[in-house]
Structure 1
Amino acid sequence: MTHRDSGFDPQDQDPQTVQRLRFGVGVIGFLLPIVLLVGNIITSARLTLLASMSASYYTHMRNVFVGSLCAIGVFLICYRHDRREDRLSSLAGVFAILVAMFPTLPPTSVTPHPTQVQTTVGILHLCFAAGLFGLLAFFCLRLFGDGRGRPGHRIHNAVYLVCGWVVVGCTVMIATAGVLHFAWDLPLTLTYVGEAVSVFAFGVAWLVKSAAIGAVASTASPGPAPA
């Protein structure tokens, strides 16, 4: 799709701004699972593990969780590349902010008997999170790829595909485990691992797309910036 076909004016957002927004999304996605886990242990002064990333809303890391999602949301809404990416990134940004504003169902250790409102809000949280992960996977699998066949871009495409399918696989795993009430006898829950790996994967994809990971970006042949 060319800029003319998409109706997008390339002067609306300069390439450097596009790369910086991609970098911002990638950095937050890359670091958030680690920061939430380590930060919760430090602030609680004991080895406290989270049932899910969303459960950090009910810990001392609430502001980090909410602030990070809102930052991702703002970056995605401000991000423009072509008309399709503009619309989908804006929708993903709205989902990210809604995930932050509608907290997950509180754990039983915090609220043994959640109200109907808390239950409804928790269900909305899951719906918004599913929409967000779905769109982020779509970015990796369909929008980030470059079909021009240069060796460096083939490596980029492989990274995007791996990251996209990791997000899809982890999302399916989390949903299946939730339906089947599956649990494993490990310190980290299956939900946290799935969420953390998904967020980490999409963070890597956005960092690669921003050309911030030198080891990958350096393999690209000189030429025009990817479309």
Structure 2
Amino acid sequence: MKLDLNGIKIENFDIFTYRRIRRAIGYLGISLPLFLVVFSLIPFFETQMQPSISDYYYTNLRDIFTGTLCAVGLFLIRYKGHGNASFWKNDNLLTNIAGIMAIGVALVPTNPDDFSQKIYTIIPLTVKWLGWLHYGFAALLFLLLALLAINVFTIGQENETREPKSILNENNIYRTCGYTILVAVIMVPLSAGLKLFSYSTLVFEALALFAFGTAWLIKGRALGDQGKIGQKLYQENNPVATEKVFEE
């Protein structure tokens, strides 16, 4: 918080910038699988449902796939989190790496079904190891997003002693989202290998993105932070909610 000349506290508007960026990241994460699937059902786009989100690179919906991921990546890089002596809790460093990974997923596509087709990509090569690089970027991106939800987003209330905490307390939501991402990442190759059901990869990738988006929306206080919502999610009781910026 900043102080005016009379020593009266005034709102530091930087906090609202942080919240807007968090919400933007959250909305983009949730909207990506929704847009791809819904547009696949509309004949106008001439695109069939794909087995995975990455496969949309080779469809008419490629611009939505690459554009959304690049936007997420740029927002994550632009998002200036807080440093920490521990790498595992260094908000600024982790979001920067995650942003680079998101852009890498967008620019280095998964392998096509047919290598003889023209492949439009920033790296003009038709080699299989680029597909593995894509999977590496994607796996590391999701692991970092899970780490942020579990290990970083929970810092703000780790010293909170007020009881009782609601089951909807924000830290419970962050941990649920983080572990959901981890389970989904594990299930992607497992379900593909076991052929559990059709579009299993797409489903688990979408689940991971929904969890990622939800965590960022809650962190951005997209539902508000006053009244009953503020009390249940953030234990916020003040008429005009405030937060400790450097714990966020």
Aligned residue number for residue 243 of structure 2: 225
Q: Aligned ranges for residues 131-150 of structure 1 at < 5 Å?
A: 131-145=140-154, 146-147=157-158, 148-150=160-162
Distance 1:116 1:98, change over 3 A: closer
Alignment correspondent of 1:39: 39
The 2-side partners of 1:139 and 1:166 are apart by 13
* Structure 2 residue 106 is the aligned partner of structure 1 residue 94: no
* Cα displacement (A) at 1:82: 0.5
Larger Rg: 2
Alpha-carbon distance in 2 for matches of 1:153, 1:17: 28
Q: Within the alignment, does 1:171 sit opposite 2:181 as a pair?
A: no
- Count of equivalent residues: 211
Is residue 206 of structure 1 aligned with residue 216 of structure 2? Answer: yes
Where does structure 1 differ by over 6 angstroms across 4 or more consecutive aligned residues?
none
1:107 has 2:113 as partner: yes
Specify the alignment match of 1:123 in structure 2: 132
When normalised by structure 1's length, the TM-score is 0.83
Higher helix share: 1
Q: Is the 8 A contact 2:47 2:59 kept in 1?
A: no
**Residues 1:104 and 1:77: Cα distance change in structure 2 (over 3 Å):** same
The 2-side partners of 1:118 and 1:149 are apart by: 55
Question: What displacement does 1:206 show?
Answer: 0.3
Q: Percent identity among equivalent residues?
A: 33
In structure 2, distance between residues paired with 1:77 and 1:45: 32
Post-superposition offset of 1:130: 0.6
Select which of 148, 172, 175 maps to 1:158.
Answer: 172
- Bigger mean CA offset, 196-205 vs 39-48: 39-48
Inter-CA distance 29–100: structure 2 relative to 1 (3 Å threshold):
same
CA contact (8 A) 1:208 1:216 kept: no
Partner residue, 1:182? 194
8 Å contact kept, 2:26–2:212: yes
Structure number with the bigger relative contact order (C-alpha 8 A, sep ≥ 6) is 1
Relative distance call for 1:74 and 1:51 in structure 2 (3 A) is: same
Shift of 1:213: 2.2
Gap runs ≥5 in structure 2: 1-12, 84-89
Using the size of structure 2 for normalisation, the TM-score is 0.76
Contact 1:40 / 1:48 at 8 angstroms: preserved in 2? yes
Name the residue aligned to 2:205.
195
- The range that moved more, 77-86 or 215-224, is 215-224
